[in-house]
C-alpha cells in the first residue's frame, strides 16, 4: 500500500511538472505570437501610413506637373502676341515656389524669355530643343537622370527639367521649359510622421530616381531599375506594396509605390522594416520580461508545489508507515493475547482444555443443547488410588500416567466431545447429542474400559489403574455446568464407594448430602483409626421411680475440622458406603471398653445398649466379634444390650434372625428400636428373640395432641405386655408425656426430660452418685 502511495505521490509531482511545462510553453507561444502579431500590425500600420503619404505626394506632384499646361498656354500667348514679358506672368513673380526657373523659346529654339532675366539659358535651351525638334512631340517631357542636365545643387534644391512644345494652330511656335524643384516639394513632407529611416522617392518610368528624401535629407540620381529594386516601374498597376531589400541596405524596406495619374512618374514611400520593428523592441522586451517572470513564477510555484507534495508524501508515507507499524504491533499483541489465552486455557501437562476452558466450552455446548431434545452428559472422572501411584513411583510417572489418560480420553471420544483436566487426577468429559440413559451408560462403560487398560512402560513401570466416574445429565440433573459438574462429582463418590473402576449416575437423593458427606465418607476408615469417634450415653429410667436402669451408647464423631458430628449425618452414609460394619464393630469395642473401665473403677454398671445396623446384623461374624470383645474386656454379656430396627429384617431376614439369635444366646437383651416407623406388626416379630420394644419418639412427641398417636402408644404398650415384652418410650421431653406414659403403663422412659446423652466422664460421675442424678 505504501509503495502504491509513494507511486501516486511521484505521479502527482510529475503531473505538476508537466503542467508547469505546458503553461510555460503556452506562455512562450502566446508571447511569440503576440510579438509576431504586433509586428504584422506595426508593418501594416507603417504600410498604411506610407500609402497615405504616397497618395498625397503623388497628388501634389501631379498638380505641380499639371501646372506646366497653364504655363504653356501663357507662353503661347506670349509668343503669338506682343512678346510682352511683363504681360505674361513670371512664375517667380507669381510666387510658384515649385518652379525654380521658366523659359520660353521660339520656333528656332532661341530664348524668348527667361524668368531669371538671363540672356541665355543653355541648359533649358538644350532641353527645349529635344521637344522642339523631336519627331514625336509629346505634350510634356520630363528630364531624366540620363539627360545629364540635372545636377546636384544644394543651393537650388532638386531640379527636374520639364519642357512642353507650344502649338498654335497646327504649328510648333516654340517651347516652354522650366525646372521643377522636387526638393521643395518633398520638403513639405519632411514633417510627415513616418518615423525614422523612412524614405520618399520620385522615380520615373524607367526606374531612374529623380529625388529621394531620407529622414529629411535629399539625394537623387540612382538607377534603381538597374539594381532590380524598382521592378514595379515597368508595370501598369496604379499602386502596390514594396517589401524588398534596397541595394546597399542591410535589411528590407516596406512601403508602397504610387503611379501618377497623368505623368510617367512614381512616388514610393518606404521605411526600413527594421526601423518599424525596432520601435516594437521595448514592447517586445516588456513582453519577454513579463513572460519570463510569469514562467519563473510558474516554475517557482510548481517547484513549491512539488516540494510541498514531496513533504506531504513523506509525511503521509511516515504516517502510513507508523500506522502499519501500529497495525503490526496490534496484530502481534492480538496473536500474543490469543496465544496467552490458549496457554491459559490449555492444561500444561496434557494439552487438553483446563477447568476454565471446560466451563467456557461446556456453557456454549449447553446453550446449544437447549435447542435440542437430546441428552447431554457430564462425566466426572477420578483415578482410583492415584495418590498411591504418585507416592510410590514419583510425580514424573504420575504425570506420564495423566498424559496417557488424557490421550485415551481423547481417543475414546468423538471429535466434538469435550474432555478437560480439572486438576490433579480429576477429568471432566462432556458428551452431547445422546438419545437415552443407556447411550450415556455405553459411553461411561467405554471410558471405564479404556482407562482401565494397562499402562505399559511408564518410565519403566507397567501400571494398572481404574477410574471412578460420576455422570450427571442435562437437563434432568441440572441446567448449568456448575450444577452438573458438582452433581457428577457427587455421583463419582458413589462410584468410588461402589467399589471403584465403575460409574454411577447422579441421583437426586445425593443432593442433600453435599460434598461434605463425600468428604466424611472418604474419611471414615481414617477417623476410626485415629479415634475420632466416641460414645455418648443416654440414661433410660424406670417409669416407677425414674431411677436409671440402663444406658444407650450413641456414637459421636469428633471431626477435627467440623467439630462434633451427630450420627444422623453419618450413619446412613456409613451404611451406604459399606463403612457401617467397621464403625459398628468400633462402637462395640468402645462400649465394652467403657463398661470395663467403669467396672475397674468399682462402680455399679448399668447395662449399655448398642445400636446395631441392618448390615451388621447380616454379618455372621458379629456374634464372634461380640464374644471376643466381651472376653477382651472381661465383661458379662448381661451388661451389653442390642438395639435393632424393623428394617434389619427386610433384606435377608433369615440371616439377620440367625445372627440375632446368636447374640441372644450370648445372653444379651435385645430391643426393637424406633418401633412404629416400620411396616411389620408386633405379632410378626413374635418369633424374634426380642425382650423390649422402644416406641419411636415421633409417637411420643404428639401423644398429648394427636389422639391416634396416643391410641397407638397405649395399644402398643398393652399388646407388648401381652407378648411379654417390656416397653420403653423414646424422646420423652415433657412432664405431660411422662404422666401420659406412666398412666398408659409404660415400663421405662428415655428422653431429654430426664437426661440428655452425655460423655462417659459425666456418666462416671452419675454412677458414683446415683442419687444426685435422680430426677
Ligand atoms: P436412636 O437409636 O433412636 O437413638 C436415640 C436418639 O434420640 C439419639 O439421637 C438421642 O440423642 C435422641 N434423643 C434422646 N432423647 C431425646 C429427646 O427427648 N428428644 C429428642 N428429640 N431426641 C432425643 P442421636 O444420638 O442423634 O442418634 C440418632 C440415631 O443414630 C439413633 O437413633 C440410632 O439409630 C443411630 N445411632 C446412634 N449411635 C449408633 C451406633 O453406635 N450404631 C448405630 N448403628 N446407630 C447408631
Ligand atoms: Ca437406639
Ligand atoms: Ca430409637
pLDDT in tens, 217-254: 887 777 787 788 888 887 888 888 888 888 888 888 99
**pLDDT of 482 higher than 70:** yes
* Closest ligand (CA of 564): 1
| pLDDT value, residue 706 | 64
Atom of ligand 1 nearest to the CA of 610: 41
Q: What dihedral do alpha carbons 404, 409, 414, 416 form, nearest 10°?
A: -100
**Ligand 3 centroid, distance to 728 Cα (angstroms):** 10
Structure-model confidence comparison of residues 260 and 126, the more confident one: 260
- For residue 148, name the pLDDT band (cuts at 50, 70, 90): very low
Q: How far lies 235's CA from each of 215, 265, 487, in Å?
A: 28, 12, 136
Question: Which residue's C-alpha comes closest to atom 13 of ligand 1?
Answer: 731
Pairing of strands 467-474, 375-383: antiparallel
Report every protein residue that has its C-beta within 5 angstroms of ion ligand 3: 673-674, 730
Q: State whether residue 537 is helix, strand or coil.
A: strand
Pairing of strands 426-434, 418-423: antiparallel
Question: Which of 282, 237, 491, 501 has the alpha carbon at shortest distance from 384?
Answer: 501
Atom of ligand 1 nearest to the CA of 733: 18
Atom of ligand 1 nearest to the CA of 757: 11
Residue 571, phi then psi, degrees to nearest 5: -65, -50
Structure-model confidence comparison of residues 103 and 536, the more confident one: 536
| pLDDT value, residue 92 | 46
Query: Could you give the CA distance from residue 269 to residue 250 in angstroms, rounded to a whole number?
Result: 18
| pLDDT value, residue 544 | 94
* Closest ligand (CA of 750): 1
* Closest ligand (CA of 751): 1
Question: Mean pLDDT over residues 158-162, rounded?
Answer: 79
Question: Mean pLDDT over residues 486-513, rounded?
Answer: 79
Tell me if 673 CB under 6 Å of ligand 1.
Answer: yes
Over its C-alpha atoms, the chain yields an Rg (Å, rounded) of 78
Residue 398, phi then psi, degrees to nearest 5: -55, -45
- For residue 678, name the pLDDT band (cuts at 50, 70, 90): low
Question: Mean pLDDT over residues 408-437, rounded?
Answer: 92
Per-residue pLDDT tens over the stretch 357-393: 899 899 889 888 887 778 899 999 998 878 777 777 8
Tell me if 752 CB under 6 Å of ligand 1.
Answer: yes
Atom of ligand 1 nearest to the CA of 750: 15
Tell me if 676 CB under 6 Å of ligand 1.
Answer: no
How many helices, marked H, and strands, marked E, lie in the chain? 20, 28
- For residue 510, name the pLDDT band (cuts at 50, 70, 90): low
Most confident of 57-61, 102-106, 622-626: 622-626
Pairing of strands 426-434, 375-383: antiparallel
Atom of ligand 1 nearest to the CA of 613: 44
**pLDDT of 588 higher than 90:** yes
Tell me if 611 CB under 6 Å of ligand 1.
Answer: yes
Question: Mean pLDDT over residues 636-653, rounded?
Answer: 88
Tell me if 417 CB under 6 Å of ligand 1.
Answer: no
Question: Mean pLDDT over residues 258-262, rounded?
Answer: 89
Query: Of the residues 524, 554, 558, which should be mutated to test ligand 1's pocket, given the most ligand atoms within 8 Å of the CB?
Result: 554
Tell me if 757 CB under 6 Å of ligand 1.
Answer: yes
**Ligand 2 centroid, distance to 538 Cα (angstroms):** 10
Query: Could you give the CA distance from residue 764 to residue 605 in angstroms, rounded to a whole number?
Result: 9
- Measured in whole angstroms, how far is the alpha carbon of residue 261 from the centre of its chain? 97
- Measured in whole angstroms, how far is the alpha carbon of residue 110 from the centre of its chain? 126
Q: Name the average pLDDT for the chain.
A: 85
**pLDDT of 95 higher than 80:** no
| pLDDT value, residue 145 | 45
Q: How far lies 687's CA from each of 51, 178, 660, 682, 684, in Å?
A: 171, 201, 11, 10, 7
- For residue 1, name the pLDDT band (cuts at 50, 70, 90): very low
- Contact between residue 748 and residue 741 where contact means Cβ atoms under 8 Å apart: no
Residue 264 is classified by DSSP as: S
Tell me if 671 CB under 6 Å of ligand 1.
Answer: no
* Closest ligand (CA of 675): 3
* Closest ligand (CA of 696): 3
Query: Could you give the CA distance from residue 234 to residue 230 in angstroms, rounded to a whole number?
Result: 8
**Ligand 3 centroid, distance to 498 Cα (angstroms):** 28
**pLDDT of 208 higher than 50:** yes
Contacts of 19 by beta carbon, 8 Å cutoff, 6+ apart = 302
**pLDDT of 143 higher than 80:** no
Tell me if 204 CB under 6 Å of ligand 1.
Answer: no
**Ligand 2 centroid, distance to 473 Cα (angstroms):** 39
**Ligand 1 centroid, distance to 721 Cα (angstroms):** 24
- Contact between residue 541 and residue 551 where contact means Cβ atoms under 8 Å apart: no
**Ligand 2 centroid, distance to 523 Cα (angstroms):** 24
Tell me if 541 CB under 6 Å of ligand 1.
Answer: no
| pLDDT value, residue 771 | 66
Atom of ligand 1 nearest to the CA of 732: 18
Query: Could you give the CA distance from residue 80 to residue 78 in angstroms, rounded to a whole number?
Result: 6
* Closest ligand (CA of 540): 1
**Ligand 2 centroid, distance to 5 Cα (angstroms):** 95
**Ligand 3 centroid, distance to 769 Cα (angstroms):** 27
| pLDDT value, residue 154 | 47
| pLDDT value, residue 151 | 47
**Ligand 2 centroid, distance to 550 Cα (angstroms):** 12
Atom of ligand 1 nearest to the CA of 554: 38
- For residue 772, name the pLDDT band (cuts at 50, 70, 90): low
**Ligand 3 centroid, distance to 730 Cα (angstroms):** 6
Instruction: List the alpha helices (DSSP H) in 151-203.
Output: 182-187
Tell me if 571 CB under 6 Å of ligand 1.
Answer: yes
- For residue 432, name the pLDDT band (cuts at 50, 70, 90): very high
Question: Which of 722, 357, 399, 757 has the alpha carbon at shortest distance from 564?
Answer: 757
Tell me if 697 CB under 6 Å of ligand 1.
Answer: yes
**Ligand 1 centroid, distance to 553 Cα (angstroms):** 9
Tell me if 277 CB under 6 Å of ligand 1.
Answer: no
Tell me if 207 CB under 6 Å of ligand 1.
Answer: no
Contacts of 459 by beta carbon, 8 Å cutoff, 6+ apart = 393, 396, 397, 400
**Ligand 2 centroid, distance to 731 Cα (angstroms):** 11
Tell me if 564 CB under 6 Å of ligand 1.
Answer: no
**Ligand 1 centroid, distance to 707 Cα (angstroms):** 25
Residue 233 is classified by DSSP as: G
| pLDDT value, residue 91 | 47
**pLDDT of 8 higher than 70:** no
- For residue 312, name the pLDDT band (cuts at 50, 70, 90): confident
Most confident of 83-97, 324-338, 661-675: 661-675
Question: Which of 291, 65, 42 has the alpha carbon at shortest distance from 160?
Answer: 65
Structure-model confidence comparison of residues 268 and 233, the more confident one: 268
| Size of the chain, expressed as the number of residues it contains | 775
Query: Could you give the CA distance from residue 638 to residue 366 in angstroms, rounded to a whole number?
Result: 63
**Ligand 3 centroid, distance to 675 Cα (angstroms):** 8
**Ligand 3 centroid, distance to 694 Cα (angstroms):** 7
Question: Which of 7, 11, 14, 8 has the alpha carbon at shortest distance from 302?
Answer: 14
Tell me if 730 CB under 6 Å of ligand 1.
Answer: yes
Window from 139-148, 187-196, 461-470, 550-559 with minimum mean pLDDT:
139-148
Window from 139-148, 157-166, 630-639, 641-650 with minimum mean pLDDT:
139-148
Residue 607 is classified by DSSP as: P
**Ligand 1 centroid, distance to 697 Cα (angstroms):** 10
Q: What is the 3-state secondary structure (H, E, C) of 580-649?
A: HHHHHHHHHHHHHHHHHHHHHCCCCCCCEEEECCHHHHCCCCHHHHHHHHHHHHCCCHHHEEEEEEHHHH
Percent of the chain with pLDDT over 90: 38
Query: Of the residues 550, 609, 730, which should be mutated to test ligand 1's pocket, given the most ligand atoms within 8 Å of the CB?
Result: 730
Query: Could you give the CA distance from residue 411 to residue 244 in angstroms, rounded to a whole number?
Result: 114
Tell me if 732 CB under 6 Å of ligand 1.
Answer: yes
- Contact between residue 7 and residue 263 where contact means Cβ atoms under 8 Å apart: no
**pLDDT of 468 higher than 80:** yes
**pLDDT of 438 higher than 80:** yes
| pLDDT value, residue 93 | 56
**pLDDT of 600 higher than 50:** yes
**Kind and range of the H or E run holding 426:** strand 426-434
| pLDDT value, residue 763 | 94
**pLDDT of 146 higher than 60:** no
**pLDDT of 86 higher than 60:** no
Percent of the chain with pLDDT over 70: 91
Structure-model confidence comparison of residues 740 and 235, the more confident one: 740
Question: Which of 475, 466, 469, 479 has the alpha carbon at shortest distance from 505?
Answer: 469
- For residue 137, name the pLDDT band (cuts at 50, 70, 90): low
Count the neighbouring beta carbons within 10 Å of the beta carbon of residue 225. Answer: 18
Tell me if 758 CB under 6 Å of ligand 1.
Answer: no
**Kind and range of the H or E run holding 332:** helix 273-345
Residue 458, phi then psi, degrees to nearest 5: -90, 100
Pairing of strands 758-759, 533-542: antiparallel
**pLDDT of 700 higher than 50:** yes
Amino acid at each position: 500500500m505504501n509503495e502504491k502511495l509513494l507511486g501516486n505521490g511521484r505521479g502527482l509531482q510529475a503531473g505538476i511538472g508537466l503542467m508547469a511545462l505546458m503553461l510555460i510553453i503556452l506562455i512562450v507561444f502566446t508571447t511569440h505570437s503576440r510579438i509576431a502579431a504586433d509586428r504584422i500590425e506595426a508593418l501594416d500600420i507603417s504600410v498604411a501610413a506610407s500609402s497615405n503619404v504616397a497618395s498625397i505626394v503623388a497628388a501634389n506632384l501631379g498638380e505641380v506637373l499639371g501646372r506646366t499646361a497653364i504655363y504653356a498656354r501663357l507662353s503661347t500667348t506670349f509668343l503669338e502676341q506682343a512678346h510682352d514679358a511683363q504681360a505674361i506672368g513670371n512664375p517667380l513673380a507669381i510666387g510658384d515656389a515649385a518652379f525654380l526657373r521658366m523659359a520660353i523659346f521660339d520656333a528656332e529654339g532661341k530664348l524668348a524669355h527667361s524668368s531669371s532675366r538671363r540672356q541665355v539659358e543653355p541648359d533649358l535651351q538644350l532641353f527645349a530643343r529635344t521637344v522642339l525638334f523631336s519627331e514625336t512631340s509629346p505634350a510634356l517631357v520630363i528630364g531624366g537622370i540620363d539627360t545629364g542636365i540635372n545636377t546636384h545643387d544644394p543651393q537650388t534644391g532638386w531640379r527636374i527639367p520639364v519642357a512642353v512644345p507650344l502649338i498654335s494652330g497646327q504649328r510648333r511656335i516654340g517651347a516652354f521649359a522650366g525646372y521643377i524643384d522636387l526638393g521643395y516639394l518633398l520638403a513639405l513632407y519632411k514633417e510627415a510622421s513616418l518615423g525614422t529611416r523612412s524614405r520618399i522617392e520620385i522615380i520615373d518610368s524607367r526606374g531612374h530616381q529623380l529625388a529621394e528624401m531620407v529622414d529629411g535629407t535629399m539625394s537623387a540620381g540612382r538607377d534603381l531599375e538597374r539594381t532590380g529594386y524598382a521592378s514595379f516601374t515597368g508595370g501598369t498597376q496604379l499602386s502596390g506594396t514594396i517589401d524588398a531589400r534596397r541595394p546597399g541596405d542591410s535589411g528590407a524596406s516596406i512601403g508602397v509605390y504610387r503611379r501618377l495619374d497623368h505623368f510617367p512618374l512614381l512616388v514610393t514611400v518606404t521605411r526600413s522594416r527594421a526601423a518599424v520593428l525596432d520601435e516594437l523592441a521595448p514592447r517586445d522586451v516588456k513582453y519577454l520580461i513579463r513572460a519570463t517572470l510569469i514562467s519563473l513564477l510558474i516554475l517557482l510555484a510548481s517547484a513549491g508545489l512539488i516540494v510541498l507534495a514531496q513533504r506531504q508524501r513523506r509525511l503521509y508515507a511516515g504516517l502510513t508507515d507508523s500506522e502499519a507499524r501500529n497495525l503490526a504491533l496490534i496484530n502481534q499483541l492480538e496473536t500474543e493475547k490469543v496465544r496467552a489465552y490458549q496457554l491459559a486455557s490449555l492444561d500444561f501437562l496434557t494439552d487438553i482444555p483446563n477447568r476454565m476452558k471446560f466451563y467456557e466450552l461446556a456453557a456454549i455446548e449447553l446453550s446449544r443443547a437447549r435447542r435440542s431434545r437430546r441428552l447431554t452428559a457430564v462425566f466426572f472422572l477420578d483415578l482410583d488410588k492415584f495418590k498411591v501411584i504418585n507416592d510410590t513411583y514419583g510425580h514424573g510417572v504420575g504425570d506420564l500416567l495423566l498424559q496417557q489418560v488424557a490421550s485415551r480420553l481423547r481417543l475414546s471420544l468423538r471429535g466434538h466431545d469435550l474432555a478437560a483436566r480439572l486438576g490433579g487426577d480429576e477429568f471432566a468429559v462432556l458428551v452431547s447429542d445422546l438419545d437415552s440413559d443407556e447411550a450415556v451408560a455405553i459411553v461411561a462403560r467405554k471410558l471405564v474400559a479404556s482407562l482401565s487398560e494397562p499402562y505399559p512402560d511408564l518410565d519403566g513401570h507397567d501400571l494398572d489403574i481404574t477410574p471412578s466416574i460420576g455422570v450427571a445429565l442435562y437437563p434432568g440433573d441440572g441446567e448449568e455446568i456448575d450444577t452438573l459438574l458438582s452433581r457428577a462429582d457427587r455421583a463419582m463418590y458413589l462410584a468410588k464407594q461402589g467399589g471403584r473402576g465403575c460409574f454411577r449416575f447422579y441421583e437426586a437423593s445425593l443432593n442433600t448430602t453435599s460434598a461434605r458427606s463425600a468428604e466424611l465418607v472418604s474419611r471414615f476408615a481414617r477417623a476410626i483409626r485415629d479415634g475420632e469417634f466416641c460414645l455418648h450415653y443416654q440414661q433410660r429410667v424406670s417409669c416407677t421411680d425414674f431411677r436409671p436402669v440402663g444406658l444407650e451408647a450413641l456414637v459421636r464423631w469428633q471431626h477435627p475440622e467440623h467439630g462434633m458430628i451427630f450420627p444422623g449425618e453419618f450413619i446412613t452414609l456409613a451404611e451406604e458406603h459399606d463403612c457401617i460394619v467397621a464403625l459398628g464393630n468400633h462402637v462395640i469395642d468402645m462400649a465394652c471398653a467403657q463398661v470395663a473401665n467403669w467396672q475397674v473403677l468399682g462402680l455399679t454398671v448399668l447395662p449399655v445398649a448398642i445400636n446395631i445396623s441392618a448390615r451388621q446384623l447380616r454379618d455372621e461374624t458379629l456374634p464372634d466379634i461380640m464374644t471376643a470383645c466381651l472376653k477382651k474386656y472381661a465383661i458379662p454379656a448381661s451388661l451389653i444390650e442390642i438395639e435393632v430396627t424393623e428394617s434389619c429384617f427386610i433384606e435377608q431376614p433369615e440371616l439377620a434372625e440367625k445372627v440375632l439369635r446368636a447374640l441372644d444366646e450370648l445372653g444379651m437383651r435385645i430391643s426393637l428400636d424406633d418401633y412404629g416407623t416400620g411396616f411389620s406388626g408386633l405379632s410378626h416379630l413374635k418369633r424374634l428373640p426380642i425382650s423390649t420394644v422402644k416406641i419411636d419418639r415421633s409417637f411420643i412427641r404428639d401423644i398429648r395432641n394427636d389422639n391416634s398417636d396416643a391410641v397407638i402408644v397405649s395399644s402398643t404398650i398393652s399388646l407388648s405386655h401381652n407378648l411379654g415384652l417390656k416397653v420403653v418410650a423414646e424422646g420423652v421431653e415433657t412432664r405431660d408425656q411422662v404422666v401420659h406414659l406412666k398412666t398408659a403403663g409404660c415400663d421405662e422412659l428415655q428422653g431429654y426430660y430426664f437426661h440428655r446423652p452425655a460423655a462417659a466422664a459425666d456418666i462416671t460421675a452419675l454412677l458414683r452418685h446415683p442419687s444426685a442424678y435422680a430426677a
